[in-house]
Amino acid sequence: MNQNDVVQGDNLTLSEVITGKQAPDPAHEYGTVSPPPSSPDQSYRNEDEVPQPNVEIELKTAPGDWRFPVQNQTRHCYTRYLEYHRCIKEKGKDDPACEKFARYYRSLCPLEWIQRWNEQVEQGTFPGPI
């Protein structure tokens, strides 16, 4: 049996249908085909198709610091936080030079720590040298 000869199912061949020996298979009824399983990737693809306001994200973060060339970065985060506060003490809150340090400590420190320190700074109980 030729591969192209097969129409649907195993018992039905094209030649037999054409010569009238056999009735063709009935067409599939609606609703018998189950929908394909939704893959998790599908939702992302749909998201991408929706036109969105294009905000360019610059891949930029706190650079590596040679004062802290180790796995433990706790001091790195803390030092950047101190540097920021020393900077705004010296140059004023809105100085653009200090913004750099703010970005660094936000990149490195957990949000929880920043919030706790900020509270302490507000209350004047922050133990660090700022």
Partner 1 sequence: MKIQMIVREWLFFTIAPCDAAEPWQLGFQDAATPMMQGIIDLHHDIFFFLILILVFVSWILVRALWHFHYKKNPIPQRIVHGTTIEIIRTIFPSIILMFIAIPSFALLYSMDEVVVDPAITIKAIGHQWYRTYEYSDYNSSDEQSLTFDSYMIPEDDPELGQSRLLEVDNRVVVPAKTHIRIIVTSADVLHSWAVPSSGVKCDAVPGRLNQTSILVQREGVYYGQCSEICGTNHAFMPIVVEAVSRKDYGSRVSNQLIPQTGEA
Q: Which residues of this chain interact with partner 1, rule CB under 8 A?
A: 37-40, 47-48, 52-57, 59-64, 68-74, 76-77, 103, 106-112, 114-115, 118
Nearer to partner 1, 15 or 119 (CB): 119
Query: What is the nearest approach in angstroms of partner 1 to the Cβ of residue 41?
Result: 9
Sign (positive or negative) of CA dihedral 113, 118, 123, 129? positive
Q: How many CB atoms lie within 10 A of CB 67?
A: 9
18 or 128: CB nearest partner 1: 128
Nearer to partner 1, 23 or 57 (CB): 57
Tokens 């010296």 appear where?
90
Task: State the minimum distance, in angstroms, from the CB of residue 55 to partner 1.
Answer: 4
C-alpha pair distances (Å), 104 with each of 28, 33, 64, 99: 62, 55, 10, 9
Instruction: State the minimum distance, in angstroms, from the CB of residue 123 to partner 1.
Output: 16
Output DSSP code: residue 69.
-
- Run of H or E residues at 87: helix 74-91
What the block records as the tokens of 120 is 């302490």
Shortest spacing between CB 76 and partner 1, in angstroms: 7
Cβ closer to partner 1: 20 or 40? 40
